[in-house]
Structures are given as C-alpha cells and as structure tokens.
Amino acid sequence: MAMFGEFQALDEEVKELLQNYRHKRATAYEPCTLTNFKECLIGLHEEFGLLNINYIFNPYLDVDGNTLRSEAVVNLTNSVWTLLHTFKNLQHKTDALEERNHILEHSNKTLNGLVDKLKGKICLEKNESKACVASAQRIADRSDDVLQKLTEARAKLLQVTKQKDANERKLHNEITRLKQQNEKLTDRLRDKDVHTHSDKRSYVACRNITSDREEYIKHLKGIINKFDKNNQMLMQEVLKLKEELIFRGMDQFTLDKKS
C-alpha cells in the first residue's frame, strides 16, 4: 500500500516515463533543458532499449546534484557512437538498395518494353493464325465441291472406260467372226480352179466379199482408234481439271493469306 501511495505521489511526467518503460513504448520528444535533462536521458534510455543499444541511466546514481557524472557522459557518448555507426551502416545499405532498385527499375522498364513487343507479336501471330484457319476452312469447304466434281468425273471416266472395253470386246468378236468367214472363203477358193470355172460370178462375188470385209475391218479399226483418242482426250481433260483445281486452291490460299 505504501508503494502504491508513493506511485500516486509522483509527478505525471515520471508516471508516464515509468509506464512507457514498463510497456517498452517510446516517449514523446521534448526539447532538452537544464531542468528536464533527467527526463530526457530517461527517454533516451528507453529509445536506445527499443533499438537494442545498451544504455543505462539511473537518475539517482548518474546525477550528482544537477550535474551529470562523467561515467554517465561516457555511457551516453558510447551509446550515441553506436547509434551513429548503426545509422551509417543502415544508410550505406539504403544507398546500395536504392542503387539496386534503380537498376531493377531500368531492367523492369526494358523487360516491360520487350513484353509489350512480344505481346504485339503474339497478337499479330494470332490474327495471322486466325486468317490462316479461316482461309483453310474456306479451302476445305471448296474442296468438298471439288471432290464432288472429281468423283463425278471419275465415275464418268469409269463409265466411258467400261463402254470402250465393251466396244473393244464387241469389235474383237466381230473381227474374229470375219476372220473365220474369210478363212472359210479362202479354203473354198483353194478347192476350185478359178480359171477353169464356167461361171466367173463366184470369183467376183468372193472378191467383193473379201474387199467388203477388209473395208469393214478398216472401219472397225478406225472406230477403235477414235475410241482410243477420245479416251486419251478424256484423260487429259481429267488431268487438266486436277491441275486447275490444285492451282486454284494454291492461289486462293495465297490471296487469303495476303488479305
């Protein structure tokens, strides 16, 4: 109870100093004078303690009357010196960090510029890719029509080829039949003496039949040649159609890419 009464009897400033010292809080700064230097030194003691600087001040032991003892001055000087070196080291580190920060800011600006260029390039490539995809889609759509036409052309070519083969088989059979007839007529003519025959009409008829047969064979060969030429022309047209379709697709792809 006596200690509580003594605490209540202390000045308000001393109470504040004791409370701040107890809770490790810094005190408010006040200009130091000859009348309050003890309180200021107590405040320095608290501030140094917060900065982990060993400074001890006891107003009952370090003050003789109103004069600060020499040991207290030495302790205060050492603490200030320690504080000064700590400040210089921190200042050096701060300058180094500021310089490094400046370099990093410059590098960051450079990187930002490169990133912006890269973004622009990526955007351009995306647009080109979209254009290529659209062009490829258009070509694919047109290729369906081209494929349909090519399929129809192949079907027509197959039909013509089948018709040509059928005609060739028919002509071959007809030629075989005519050859057999020719052989029969030749055998009959060999068995007879044309010069001693009383009637010359048989010889003339045979010769006419032989001549007609040769003319018919020539006619059939002409038809076969005509079919072969038509077949070759049709194949050439199909090849030209394929080349034209390919070149049209390439030209369209080039135009779409430029656009």
pLDDT, tens only, 170-202: 877 877 887 787 777 777 766 665 555 445 566
- In whole angstroms, what is the distance from residue 160 CA to residue 173 CA? 20
- In whole angstroms, what is the distance from residue 8 CA to residue 19 CA? 13
Would you say residue 1 has pLDDT above 50? no
pLDDT, tens only, 116-138: 999 999 988 889 888 888 877 88
Would you say residue 247 has pLDDT above 80? no
Mean pLDDT score of the chain, rounded to an integer? 78
Phi, psi for residue 35 in degrees, rounded to 5: -95, -25
Closest CA to 85 of 55, 56, 53: 53
Closest CA to 55 of 71, 44, 70, 69: 44
| Helical spans, DSSP H, in the chain | 2-9, 12-23, 37-50, 70-191, 201-258
Would you say residue 86 has pLDDT above 60? yes
Helical pair 70-191 and 201-258, crossing angle rounded to 10 deg: 170
pLDDT, tens only, 156-175: 767 867 877 887 788 778 77
- In whole angstroms, what is the distance from residue 44 CA to residue 20 CA? 12
**Within a 10 A sphere around the Cβ of 55, how many other Cβ atoms?**
20
The reported pLDDT for the residue numbered 250 is 65
